[in-house]
Amino acid sequence: MPEPGNLSQIEKIKMASDGLRGTLKQSLRDEHTGAIREDDQALIKFHGMYQQDDRDRREERAARKLDRLYSFMIRLRLPGGFLSAEKWIAVHDVAGQNSTGVIKITSRQTIQLHGILKSSIRPTIKAFNAARLDSIATCGDINRNVLCSSHPAQSAIHEQVFGYAAKISSLLMPKTKAYYEIWLGDQQLVDKKEEEDPLYQDRYLPRKFKIGIAIPPNNDVDVFANDIGLIAVIENNELKGFNIAIGGGLSSTHGNAETYPRLATLIGFTDTEEKTLKAIYEIATIQRDYGNRSDRKLARLKYTVDKYGADWYRTELEKRTGFALEPVRDYTFTERKDHFGWEQSESGDWHYTVFIENGRVLDDEKIKLKSALLTVAETGKTNFRFTCNQNVIISDVKEADKASIDAMLAQYGVIAHTETTSLIRKHSMACVALPTCPLALAEAQRYMPSLIDKIESLLDKHGLANDEIIIRMTGCPNGCARSYAAEIGFVGTGPGRYNLHIGGDRLGERLNRIYKENIDETEILPVLDDLFAAYSSGRKPGQTFGDFALVTVLRN
Ligand code: SRM
Ligand code: SF4
């Protein structure tokens, strides 16, 4: 194993943290500030929370010599993005009491609540716990929420594949009981042996770690953007096993050429549950032992894979698991999208996918989505499944209940809203960015809707309104809405300015490239106008915008 080198500050904080406890209890007791101690800000992430502040109010508060307006974001752990109606009601209630009220569906199939004051964290976690929900390991240097293609009509054996998300999530959970002790008031463990952690030890992983499972033909989870991507291989309605890809990750840092987005590399196939889980576990232990612990910018698995090589990684993996991976099996992705409206799965159950712009569930002047989803949940006749495109599926509705649920959705305007939204908007995604994200350089979810209004007009003008172009925006180069894997990607560079990326494919198998740097709306719209004009007149039959842009505009 390599020498650890100079450990980064976060590594030292983890090691000294006594199982992720740090001084969180003292931080919570300190009534002089709405913030927590600096070291604890790194540790609280492992408990699924981030300290933030309202960036819109920084200047005004500074002028009044006031501290920043601190609050916390809490992210739930929902493997595969599944939530029962009862739990949705609990989330709705908690959101109304302690947070901004907006329920935010993330690009990794889970929910975040923002604006929770320090004094409200414990009551929030307690309320979640009462509903059998938790936020353990949804952030931090650890395995995060495990993704799985969310639509039950995707495959006749969706439920079986879907079950792996929960199994993998449990397999890679940390052993520390700090969460229960700090947030729920459980007694401190006397025998620390109970929380010895052979996987994470005392250093956890060098960086965040993400796993996604795709069920072909839909790559709705963007499987190659994950540290580990599993692709279910299904023949004659039978799960044969999984192709395994490693080293996906989409972040880069402006001006740091050593950082780059990367799609995961396929390294083999496993045919049994035991082998699949063993392989996943050991991929994580190799990253634990070989990942970069001195420079966090280079600490993701993708850099470990590129440093040592995918062949080396596979050999090391086979040494640790004691079995050889089989060659990658055939699979085909034909789409990467949500199926809006009603669809029926082979079981006979119905599922309605609702369009939620940028994952923000709220009641506003346009539509009362939050009230609509609550009313539907109160029937107790549905489940909720979140998609990696920040939408929600009202799922598992029995044939006998479909008409009444449909009537409710119609009454609240949800059906009209979903059906009349343009295709470009339905296939768009933006990250949170301002005002809560401390890393945002530009707006994303607050700006994208108005930009799309104008892009819709351009598409209409060029007869392209029926194209399902994938368009995404992030407020910085971290890639939270996976802009680098879009046909049109905007990456924030500064207030109102973005790099424009084009040439990504529709299926998430090819990254895009920078076409224009640091442009604002006055430049974005004419550039897109020209691109759409060229695409409309010059495309080959069936050619997608991303493929056209690559071949004709980027000339590759
Ligand atoms: Fe992300 C950091 C929001 C998906 C790459 N991400 C953040 C933080 C927590 C900012 C921070 O570190 O303080 C953002 C919180 C904003 C806020 O106020 O809520 C944030 N990321 C999000 C979400 C909510 C975007 C959304 O609008 O849906 C997504 C939550 C996912 C979840 O439920 O777990 C989200 N983040 C992603 C994705 C997409 C994915 O995983 O498919 C990526 C790119 C894939 C990848 O990981 O490479 C992503 N987020 C990052 C990074 C860059 C990581 C890196 O390798 O360098 C950061 C910054 C960091 O970790 O230092 C980051
Ligand atoms: Fe924040 Fe950047 Fe992620 Fe957007 S992409 S949520 S701005 S870290």
All domains of the chain in start order, with CATH: 9-321 (3.30.413.10), 425-554 (3.30.413.10)
88: tokens are 């949705």
Catalytic pick among 45, 104, 207, 208? 208
Best residue among 53, 208, 429, 439 to mutate for probing ligand 2, ranked by most atoms within 8 Å of CB? 439
Task: Say what the pLDDT of residue 154 is.
Answer: 84
pLDDT tens track, the chain, 556 positions:
776 679 999 999 999 999 999 999 999 999 999 999 999 999 999 999 999 999 999 999 999 999 999 999 999 999 999 999 999 999 999 999 999 999 999 999 999 999 999 999 999 999 999 999 999 999 999 999 999 999 999 888 999 999 999 999 999 999 999 999 999 998 876 677 889 999 999 999 999 999 999 999 999 999 999 999 999 999 999 999 999 999 999 999 999 999 999 999 999 999 999 999 999 999 999 999 999 999 999 999 999 999 999 999 999 999 999 999 999 999 999 999 999 999 999 999 999 999 999 999 999 999 999 999 999 999 999 999 999 999 999 999 999 999 999 999 999 999 999 999 999 999 999 999 999 999 999 999 999 999 999 999 999 999 999 999 999 999 999 999 999 999 999 999 999 999 999 999 999 999 999 999 999 999 999 999 999 999 999 999 999 999 999 999 998 7
Ligand 1 centre distance from Cα of residue 280 (Å): 22
Catalytic pick among 203, 360, 480, 482? 480
Looking at residue 390, the DSSP 8-state letter turns out to be S
Q: Is the dihedral of CA 308, 310, 316, 321 positive or negative?
A: positive
pLDDT in tens, 156-202: 899 999 999 999 999 999 999 999 999 999 887 667 788 999 999 99
Catalytic pick among 431, 472, 482, 506? 431
331: tokens are 């699979």
Q: Give the residue, by CA position, lying nearest to ligand 1 atom 38.
A: 480
The minimum-distance atom of ligand 2 relative to the CA of 444 is 4
Ligand 1 centre distance from Cα of residue 210 (Å): 11
From the list 150, 165, 212, the residue with the least C-alpha distance to 384 is 150
Cβ atoms of 55 and 440 closer than 8 Å: yes
Catalytic status, residue 75: yes
From the list 225, 144, 134, 117, the residue with the least C-alpha distance to 179 is 134
Q: Strand order in 211-214's β-sheet?
A: 147-148, 211-214, 228-235, 238-246, 265-270
- C-alpha to C-alpha distance for 151 and 336, rounded to whole angstroms: 12
């291989």: which residue's tokens?
233
Q: At what angle do helices 273-290 and 301-308 cross, to 10 degrees?
A: 80
Please list, in sequence order, all residues whose beta carbon lies within 8 angstroms of the beta carbon of residue 146, skipping any fewer than 6 positions away.
Answer: 79, 80, 164, 165, 166, 168, 169, 211, 212, 213
Task: Say what the pLDDT of residue 307 is.
Answer: 98
CA end-to-end distance (rounded Å), the chain: 40
Ligand 1 centre distance from Cα of residue 266 (Å): 24
Catalytic status, residue 510: no
Q: Is the dihedral of CA 128, 130, 132, 135 positive or negative?
A: positive
Cβ atoms of 552 and 544 closer than 8 Å: no
Catalytic status, residue 148: no
pTM of this prediction? 0.98
Q: Give the residue, by CA position, lying nearest to ligand 1 atom 48.
A: 249
Q: Ligand 2 pocket: which residues have CB below 6 Å?
A: 431-433, 437, 439-440, 444, 474-476, 478-480
Residue 477: C-alpha distances to residues 30, 73, 253, 316, 539 (Å)? 35, 21, 6, 32, 30
Ligand 1 centre distance from Cα of residue 438 (Å): 11
The minimum-distance atom of ligand 2 relative to the CA of 433 is 7
Ligand 1 centre distance from Cα of residue 377 (Å): 28
> Of all helices (H) and strands (E), which one includes residue 426?
helix 423-426
